[in-house]
């Protein structure tokens, strides 16, 4: 029997946590293993409950979701996937959370079945953002909501320099919001080869997911 996906809920609103617990509790393959009311307690909770996925509110007192996400993704060893919960789909803080290593984001009014499916996808290592949503976020950055500036551009280009030519090509396609299948078609390679280049690029750059790679590639081309 397959082990259920273990989920940690992080939100300072008790009603939101109760709603998420009720929603996820109806899925036989998902188990809520803990709750936190502030980002400051998240690292200890992660160590104690060993979640596969963390549903993280962005706006919390004391320690917000961005700082908590950064603390999780910066841990050594096994790191859970973080899905950011927000009420704004174009908020600059969401972009910062993605830079910090979040696997994606969901609006709090997302239909329950989509939240459940997003948890499953994140646990499987897939980005929660669809290509269209990824493009929306990157368009937000490009429109001036989060200008990288020359210093960030230089740092991004320096980091990407460690990649091979094919890995950089894959990174650029990811930044456009293309799926693995679309990248394979564009670059004349198999989907398996795309996945291999993507995995290698993430390892070399010490990134946790393709969204971080997309933002880094975007910064380099700013």
User: So what's the pLDDT on residue 162?
Assistant: 94
CA–CA separation, 156 vs 88, rounded Å?
27
**Percentage of the chain surpassing pLDDT 90?**
41
**Residue 48: pLDDT band by 50, 70, 90 thresholds?**
very high
Do 56 and 84 meet the contact criterion of CB atoms below 8 Å apart?
yes
User: What kind and span of H or E run contains 85?
Assistant: strand 81-86
Backbone φ and ψ of 190, nearest 5°: -75, 160
Predicted structure pTM score: 0.75
CA–CA separation, 49 vs 47, rounded Å?
6
The region, left, alpha or beta by phi > 0 then psi within -120 to 50, assigned to residue 127 is beta
- Residue 99 sits in a domain of what CATH number? 3.40.50.2300
Of 50 and 206, which is predicted with more confidence?
Answer: 50
**What does the block give as tokens for 124?**
């499987």
Residue at which a domain ends, from 128, 156, 174:
128
User: So what's the pLDDT on residue 9?
Assistant: 96
Residue at which a domain ends, from 76, 104, 128:
128
Regarding whether 175 and 122 lie in a shared domain, the answer is no
**Residue 1: pLDDT band by 50, 70, 90 thresholds?**
low
Regarding whether 184 and 114 lie in a shared domain, the answer is no
Regarding whether 107 and 39 lie in a shared domain, the answer is yes
């Amino acid at each position: 029997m397959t082990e259920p996906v273990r989920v940690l809920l992080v939100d300072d609103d008790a009603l939101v946590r109760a709603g998420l617990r009720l929603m996820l509790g109806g899925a036989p393959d998902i188990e809520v293993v803990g709750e936190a009311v502030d980002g400051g307690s998240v690292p200890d909770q992660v160590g104690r409950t060993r979640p596969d996925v963390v549903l993280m509110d962005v706006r919390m007192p004391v320690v917000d979701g961005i700082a908590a996400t950064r603390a999780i993704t910066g841990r050594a060893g096994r790191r859970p996937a973080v899905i950011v919960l927000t009420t704004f789909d174009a908020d600059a803080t969401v972009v910062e959370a993605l830079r910090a290593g979040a696997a994606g984001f969901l609006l709090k009014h997302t239909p329950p079945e989509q939240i459940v499916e997003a948890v499953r996808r994140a646990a499987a290592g897939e980005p929660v953002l669809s290509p269209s949503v990824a493009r929306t976020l990157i368009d937000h950055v490009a429109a001036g909501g989060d200008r990288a500036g020359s210093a960030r551009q230089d740092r991004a280009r320096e980091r990407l320099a460690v990649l091979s030519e094919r890995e950089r090509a894959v990174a650029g396609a990811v930044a456009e919001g293309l799926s693995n299948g679309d990248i394979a078609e564009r670059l004349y390679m198999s989907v398996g080869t795309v996945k291999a280049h993507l995995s290698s690029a993430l390892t070399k750059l010490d990134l946790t997911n393709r969204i971080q790679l997309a933002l880094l590639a975007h910064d380099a081309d700013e």
